[in-house]
Amino acid sequence: MGGSCSHLCDSVVLPSTIAFNQIQTSSTLPSTPSPTRSIENCIVLWLFDDPSRKFDNDKEQLRRSVYGLQIFFNADTCIDYIRDVKDERVFLITSVTYQSIVNFYHLLSLEKIYIFDPSSSPDRRHSLHSNTFSNMTDLCTQVQQDINLYEHDQICWSTISNSSNEMTKADLSFVFIQIFHEIMARLKFDGNAKTIFIDFCRLHYSGRQLGLVEEFAKHYRPDTALDWLRRPCFISRILNRVKRTREIDVLYKLGFFTKQLNTQLLHLHEENKSFLQTLSVVFRGKTMLNDAFDSLLKNHSSGLLSFGNLLSTTVNKETSMEFIRLRLTLHPDRLAVLFQIHLNHLIFDEEHPYALMANHDLKNGEIYFAAASVFRIESVKQIVTNELMIWCVKLHLINTNNTQLVRILTPFRTSEQHDNPLSCLGKLLMEMGEYRRVEQFFLEILNDTSILSQPRRLVRAHNGLGANYAHQEDYTAALMHFEQALRISLTHLPSDHVDLTLIYKSIGDCCLSQKNYSRALDNYERAIKLLEANKQSSKLYMLEELQTLLHDTKTFIMMVFSDKSRTLP
C-alpha cells in the first residue's frame, strides 16, 4: 500500500479540474436537515422505563443544554441504537432501575451512565458514585463537565515511522493531515464564508448552543478566533470531530476560521515573543487504549508526530497530570500518556505558528500550536510516580523544511494537489480505506438542491462516487454513477469534447472488470478517438494507457471466442 497521489487509484478517475473552493459553497438551505448526521463527538440519550412519567420540563431543560438529545422508551431499542453508533460517544441518562442498566456497560460506544431520579435519597446517590441525580440542573452541569473532559482527550493526531518504506494507513493519515493543511492554506475565502458556516450550524443546533451560534454570527471577528476556540461550545466540538473523521465538506466550511486562527497565532507570537523565549518545555496529558498506544506511539522513537487540530498545552505539568487523573477515574483501563514538548526558539515556522495565550502568567501559561504542527518523537519511556504509571513521550518541534518531513511529503506534492486538490484528498482517503467519508462527501453535494442547476458539479459528484465504488470493486454501483455523469455531461458538452475522455475510460474500466469486453472495447475506442482528435489536450498522457487497455481487451475477446470455438461440436 502507498505511494504518491499521482499514482494512487490509477484505474479510477476522480472529478477532473474541480476547484476546491467550489465544495458546497451555496448558502441555499435544504428544506429539512439530515436527521442522521451528527456534527459533534458526543450524543446524549435518555431512556425512560415508564412513558407515563413525563418529565416535560426536565426534558426541555436538558434539550436546551446538550447537543442532539434523543429519547427512548424501550431498553432494547436503545441498546440497538448504541450498538450502531460508529463515530460518536454516548452519554446515557436513565430513569430505569439500577439493576437494569448493567445490560449497557458492555457497549463500546458508551462513555458514561447517569441515573435521573427526583425521588432518590442522598445515601443512594453516594452509593452509585454520585451518578444519580435528583435535580436536572445538577445533572446538566455534570454532563457538560464530562463532555468537556472527553473533548479535551480527543486530540486528533497521527505518527509516521522513520523506517517506513511502504505506506500504512497510519502513515497515510499523517500525510493527509499535512496535505490537507497545505491545500487549505492556499485557499482564499470570501466574505460569505462565515454566513455559510453559520447557516450550516443553524440546521443542527437548538437551545443554548443555537444561542451561541447567534452570538458568533453577531460578534465574531478574526482577532477573536482563539477566544472562540477556547470556549467549550460548537466551534471546538465541530472541529474536534471533523478533523478526526475527515469530513471534508464541514472542514471546508470552517476553512475561513482556521486561516484566521493561524493569523491570530502569528500576531500573538510576536506580542509575547519575549515571554516565549523563557520557556523550554510544555505539557499535554492524554489517555489511550493499549492497542492504540502500541500501534501509534510505543515503537515510534525517531519518527514524526503531527496534531491535526490546534493543540493546547500548559506550562504547568500538574495541570496535565490532574487531567489524566480525572480521565483515569472514569476509564481505569486506559494508559496515562504525558506529552512533553520541548521548544527550540530558533525554530519557528509561519505556516505552523505557536503562541502564548495573552494575559497568562508563565506559571500557568497556555501555549497553542497551530494545526498540522510536526514534532520529532525523541523518546517514549514509562515512568512511575507516587500514584501513577505514566508513559512520557518527549517531543521536539520541527519546521516544514526538515529533511525527514520533506522526504515523506515530496511524492504527494504533485501538480494534482494544486490543479485538482479534491481529487488528491479523495485518493488519499480511499487508499486509507475511508470509503464512507468519500461517499458521504459526494452524497452531501448531491443532496444540495442548488446543484440541480449546476451540471458540472453534478458530474463531479457522480464521478467521485463512481471512483469510490470502483475502488471498492463495486463495479455495478460505480458504472451507474459514471453513466449518470456521461448523460449529464452530454447536456452541456458536445459529443466530441475531450473532457468526456475520462468518463469513457472509467466506464470502460468498470466493464472490463465485469468481463463485459465488447462494451469495454467500445468505450476505450471512444476515449482514444477523442484524444486523437485533440492533440493539444492536457489529457494526452492517457493515450498510451488507453491503447494498452484496448489491446488487452481485444486479447480477452479473442480468448473468449477461442474458448467457445473449442466447445463447439
Q: In 357-506, at which residue ranges do the beta strands (DSSP E only) sit?
A: 366-369, 374-384, 389-398
Q: What is the pTM of this model?
A: 0.81
Return the SS3 of 374: strand
Residues 323-346: b if buried by 16+ CB within 10 A, e if exposed: bbebbbeeeeebbbbbbbbebeee
Given a contact cutoff of 8 angstroms between Cβ atoms, the answer to whether 156 and 404 are in contact is: no
Based on the number of CB atoms within 10 Å of its own CB, is 319 exposed (0-12), middle (13-18) or buried (19 or more)? middle
Task: Give kind and range of the element (H or E) at residue 157.
Answer: strand 157-160
Q: How far is CA 258 from the centre of its chain?
A: 15
- Distances in Å between the Cα of 467 and the Cα atoms of 12, 435, 463, 475 are 5, 10, 6, 9
Q: What angle do CA 456, 457, 463 make, to 5 degrees?
A: 90
Given a contact cutoff of 8 angstroms between Cβ atoms, the answer to whether 115 and 130 are in contact is: no
Given a contact cutoff of 8 angstroms between Cβ atoms, the answer to whether 170 and 160 are in contact is: yes
Angle between helices 455-471 and 435-446 (to 10 degrees): 160
List pLDDT tens digits, range 96-121.
665 567 778 889 999 999 988 887 66
**Helices (DSSP H) in 246-303: which residue ranges?**
248-253, 255-271, 273-276, 290-293
Q: Report the C-alpha gap between 421 and 251 in whole angstroms.
A: 14
Rg of the Cα atoms in the chain: 27
- What are the structural domains, with CATH classification, of the chain? 20-27+416-567 (1.25.40.10), 42-152 (3.40.50.2300), 273-411 (3.90.176.10)
Query: Can you read off the three cell numbers belonging to residue 236?
Result: 471546538
Given a contact cutoff of 8 angstroms between Cβ atoms, the answer to whether 442 and 463 are in contact is: no
How many CB atoms are located within 10 Å of the residue 198 CB?
A: 17
Nearest-10 Cα torsion for 446, 450, 454, 458: 0
Given a contact cutoff of 8 angstroms between Cβ atoms, the answer to whether 507 and 11 are in contact is: no
Residues 352-381: b if buried by 16+ CB within 10 A, e if exposed: bbbbbbeeeeeeebbbbbbbbbbbbbeebe
Write out the chain's pLDDT in tens, 569 residues: 444 443 434 334 444 434 444 444 333 333 333 346 899 999 999 998 766 667 888 888 999 889 989 999 888 899 999 999 989 999 999 886 655 677 788 899 999 999 888 876 655 544 444 588 888 999 999 999 999 999 999 988 999 987 666 788 888 999 999 999 998 888 888 888 999 999 999 999 988 889 999 999 999 999 999 999 999 899 999 999 999 999 888 998 999 999 999 999 999 998 888 888 888 899 999 999 999 999 888 888 889 999 999 999 999 999 999 999 999 998 999 999 999 999 988 778 788 899 988 665 667 789 999 999 999 999 999 998 877 899 999 999 998 889 999 999 998 888 767 766 766 787 888 888 889 888 988 887 787 777 778 888 888 889 989 999 999 999 999 999 999 999 999 999 999 999 999 999 999 999 999 999 999 999 999 999 999 998 877 777 888 999 999 999 999 999 887 766 666 55
Q: What angle do CA 155, 253, 263 make, to 5 degrees?
A: 70
Return the SS3 of 359: coil
Q: Which amino acid is at 465?
A: L
Spell out the residues 6+ positions from residue 158 whose beta carbon is closer than 8 angstroms to its own: 170, 173, 174, 176, 177, 296, 305, 306, 308
Q: Report the C-alpha gap between 452 and 458 in whole angstroms.
A: 7
Query: Can you read off the three cell numbers belonging to residue 105?
Result: 456497560
